Amino acid sequence: MEYRTLGRTGLRVSEMGFGGWAIGGGFCIAGKGIGYGPTDDATSKRALERAAAGSHPK
């Protein structure tokens, strides 16, 4: 895993991240539905576990 400094914060962060917005499911703002819609908690949990373990689909 490669790391770099985050801006001027001095924090070292990995170059690879996990985009988890979609696993939050759908929601509304001002009555308008946004987001990805329904999600499955078991599938979301597996994705998080795989990311934490450092594996990803090939």
Give the model's pLDDT for residue 7.
95
Q: Residue 51: what pLDDT? A: 83
6-22 pLDDT, tens digit per residue, is 999 999 998 888 888 77
Q: So where are the chain's domains?
A: 19-58
Q: Helical H runs in the chain?
A: 41-53
Q: In which residue are the tokens 């988890």 written?
A: 20
> pLDDT tens digit string along 18-58?
888 778 777 888 888 777 777 888 988 998 898 888 765 55
Q: Which residues pair with 28 in a beta bridge?
A: 33
Confirm whether pTM is higher than 0.85: no
Evaluate whether 43 touches 30 at the Cβ level (below 8 Å): no
